[in-house]
Structure 1
């Protein structure tokens, strides 16, 4: 087991899932350590992500905990053994940790789904749109930090390009499309970018129109990242005090249902493109 001074969100998730497996098996840390032939302290270090854990060790723990879900166990093994550093690491000393965790989550996701009311989703923002958003932050950001944030956001968008881009569904409220962020020229360019991206086979953009009335989840930006198996999905909430990551089974089920309800009142992809065209022409 290798000591990690700053565990990533991905490895922390592995540690959390191993603790959950032990608890579901009805074992105390002392009992589990005895079964595994290790000390309670070492097991604690694994479950809190202070130590990394090998694939063989994960399989042994799953067997000791009577976990028969092979796909889930192998997904944990894959997450633990992939120790490659991503592009986001160069920002670790510059930007908040939760943004680094978000980029890592997106990179390893098997699919992405987002619902947002007041803003265009970050993965679909133009450079000028993103820069204006960060200029409006409270407290005010100094210019160098704004540029770091903009470059980080644009690099995150790499998950939508390349030979194997992530499937991505964006549910965007009409309000976000009508806010002229950066003025008419920037707003028109942003709308055109949405139209261009909506033509890609792996991207679905649907607009929730004003006429849909009240919709669930309209008070927050919600992001759903699909893991290699459903148990390893993650919900990301963008809140005024920072980012939150949720992965409890009940929470995942709640937000899957919430997304389905939002999608049910959204326009079709074709009708959404027509509305975006209409808004763009009116600017």
Structure 2
């Protein structure tokens, strides 16, 4: 039994789900392991994400724990069979594990919901905007180049074969930040309007004049695969990203995003005529800010 030296979020999440199934069934690690010919220590390593579990053993274990939800079982099997080798693998020596996990979560997502207060969401950032942000915190040029290249490559998920539905709610304050100067921000705002033309992308802006503002917790990213209960909420932190998987947390942030959506102006509609939007929707507000730059 080979143990992994690095555990990805996908591997960790699979182990968490299997442990939850076992504990709900009231089985000890020894009892559950007997169904699939694993000792207690071996199953403990599986639940910790430190080693793999064969697909047939995973299905048997789910059935032994009384799980009859086939979509859930199939989702776990896909997680176990996934090699985790995507474009992000080339960055393993240059990016931290949190960034690699985010790229893999985005690649597996069916829906991505993003809320930002001071920054444009990473999936929408232009190269100059990225470099302007990093210039103040990353003094080493090679690091800036690597992070910029990685973030730009993440954006390929927006137009891939199985592109997720992406919904971003951005506070107006993020549109007024002058990272890199007026020219950089002007190009960034135009980029938002261009991305809104994609059929899978929805962008809304919460104006300063909003009556109520629900994001008391700050920025967050909610990523969900085809089975929403296997979703993840990501909270940025200066030390490391915080990942939430608990069903109550997922429900809380889903409800919070729903409130944010209601607080925001109507989505950007690049096909709208100037007369139909003025400054009363997200496109009108962005164009108003563009005019002032």
1:209-248 → structure 2 map (5 Å cutoff):
209-213=207-211, 215-248=213-246
Q: Secondary structure at the match of 2:178?
A: coil
In 2, distance between residues paired with 1:56 and 1:101? 26
Answer yes or no: is the 8 Å Cα contact 2:212–2:263 preserved in 1: no
In 1, distance between residues paired with 2:3 and 2:226? 26
Q: Secondary structure at the match of 1:212?
A: coil
C-alpha distance after superposition, 1:158-179 (max 9, x if no partner): 1001343221001000000011
1:56 corresponds to 2:56:
yes
- Cα displacement (A) at 1:89: 1.4
- Cα displacement (A) at 1:147: 0.8
Answer yes or no: is the 8 Å Cα contact 1:112–1:223 preserved in 2: yes
In 2, distance between residues paired with 1:162 and 1:42? 38
Q: Secondary structure at the match of 2:205?
A: strand
- Cα displacement (A) at 1:30: 2.1
1:134-213 → structure 2 map (5 Å cutoff):
134-137=134-137, 140-213=138-211
Residue segments in structure 2 that go unaligned for 5+ positions in a row: 270-280
- Cα displacement (A) at 1:134: 0.8
C-alpha distance after superposition, 1:113-168 (max 9, x if no partner): 1001010000000000001111122xx43111011110010000010013432210
Answer yes or no: is the 8 Å Cα contact 2:35–2:60 preserved in 1: no
Structure 1 residues 49 and 146: CA distance shift in structure 2, 3 A: same
1:102 corresponds to 2:112:
no
Answer yes or no: is the 8 Å Cα contact 1:116–1:218 preserved in 2: no
C-alpha distance after superposition, 1:60-110 (max 9, x if no partner): 110110011111011000111121511111211112111111111111111
In 1, distance between residues paired with 2:162 and 2:86? 17
Answer yes or no: is the 8 Å Cα contact 1:15–1:47 preserved in 2: yes
Answer yes or no: is the 8 Å Cα contact 1:16–1:47 preserved in 2: yes
Tell me the residue number matched to 1:253: 251
Answer yes or no: is the 8 Å Cα contact 1:220–1:239 preserved in 2: no
- Cα displacement (A) at 1:7: 2.8
In 2, distance between residues paired with 1:273 and 1:14? 41
- The match for 2:289 among 275, 279, 282 is 279
**CA RMSD of superposed structures (Å):** 1.5
Answer yes or no: is the 8 Å Cα contact 1:177–1:191 preserved in 2: yes
Q: Number of matched residues?
A: 281
In 2, distance between residues paired with 1:102 and 1:141? 24
Q: Which moved more, 1:99-108 or 1:30-39?
A: 30-39
Structure 1 residues 228 and 162: CA distance shift in structure 2, 3 A: closer
Q: Which moved more, 1:112-121 or 1:230-239?
A: 230-239
Q: Secondary structure at the match of 1:239?
A: coil
Residue segments in structure 1 that go unaligned for 5+ positions in a row: none
Structure 1 residues 128 and 70: CA distance shift in structure 2, 3 A: same
1:32-111 → structure 2 map (5 Å cutoff):
32-111=32-111
Structure 1 residues 39 and 219: CA distance shift in structure 2, 3 A: closer
In 2, distance between residues paired with 1:182 and 1:113? 26
Q: Secondary structure at the match of 1:103?
A: helix
Q: Which segments of structure 1 move beyond 6 Å, counting only runs of 4 or more?
A: none
- Cα displacement (A) at 1:214: 5.0
Answer yes or no: is the 8 Å Cα contact 1:4–1:51 preserved in 2: yes
Answer yes or no: is the 8 Å Cα contact 1:12–1:48 preserved in 2: yes
